[in-house]
Amino acid sequence: MSETETAVERLDVVAVGPHPDDLEITCGGTLALLVQQGHRVGILDLTTGEPTPRGSLETRAREAEAARQVLGVPFRATSTSPTAC
C-alpha cells in the first residue's frame, strides 16, 4: 500500500446532504445496510445546519457523531459553512 493510500482511505459510497441529520432521516437505513454488506461508506454534510432555532453547534456535532457510530459509518465530514438563508 502506498503512502497516499494509508493517508486517505478509499470509500465505496459517499452520501452527501445539506445539513447534519438529513442523511440519517432520508437514507440512514440504506447506509447501515451498505455498511453491513461490507461497503466503506462516508457521510458529507455540506453545512453545519446553523443557524437553527433548536440546539447548538456542539449538540448537533455530538448527535451527528452518535448517529455515525450507530449506522456503522467509518467516515463523516461536516463543512464549517453555515446554512444559507
- Taking only the tens place, the pLDDT of each residue in 45-64 is 999 888 777 778 888 889 99
What is the C-alpha to C-alpha distance for residues 22 and 19, in angstroms, rounded to an integer?
6
Average pLDDT over residues 28-56: 92
In this prediction, residue 57 carries a pLDDT of 85
Return the pLDDT at 8.
56
Compute the mean pLDDT over every residue in the chain, rounded to the nearest whole number: 87
Model confidence, pTM:
0.82
For the purposes of burial, counting CB atoms within 10 Å of the CB of 5, is it exposed (0-12), middle (13-18) or buried (19 or more)? exposed
